[in-house]
Structure 1
Amino acid sequence: MTKLIRVLTATAVLPGAVLVTAGLLANAWAGRLPDPVATHWNDGPDGATPRGLFVAVCLALGAVATAILTATAVAALRRGRPVPRVTIGVGAGFAALAPATLLSVLVPNLDVPDWHAVRSGAVVVLFLVGAAALGIVAAIVGGLPAPALEDSADRPSVGLRPGQRAYWSGRAANPAMLWLLAVVPGSIALVPAGLSWPMAVWFALVGALVAAVTYRVKATVDAKGVTIRFGLLGFPWRHLELATIREATVRELTTFGDGGLGLRFNPVTGTTAYKVRGGPAMALALESGRTVLVSVDDPATGAGLVNDLRARHVTRID
Structure 2
Amino acid sequence: IKKAVKARARGNDLFKLGYYGEAEKSYNQALALLPEKNDVAVVISNNRAAARLKKGQYRQCIMDCTFVIEWARMKSQNESKSTITLLEGDISIRWHDQLGKALHRKAEALEKMVRISEALQVYEELIRMDAGDMKAINGIQRCQSKEVPQPPPRPTPAKSSTTTDTNSSAFPGLDYSIFEIKQVSNNEPPPSKAVAAMRARQAELAKEESERQEKADIVNARIDTWKRGREKNIRALLSSLDTLMWPGAQWRGAPINELLEPKKVKICYMKAIAKVHPDKLPSSTTVEQRLLASGIFSVLNQAWDDFRSNNKI
TM-score of the superposition, structure 2-length normalised?
A: 0.24
More helix, by proportion: 2
TM-score of the superposition, structure 1-length normalised?
A: 0.23
More strand, by proportion: 1
**Higher RCO (C-alpha under 8 Å, 6+ residues apart):** 1
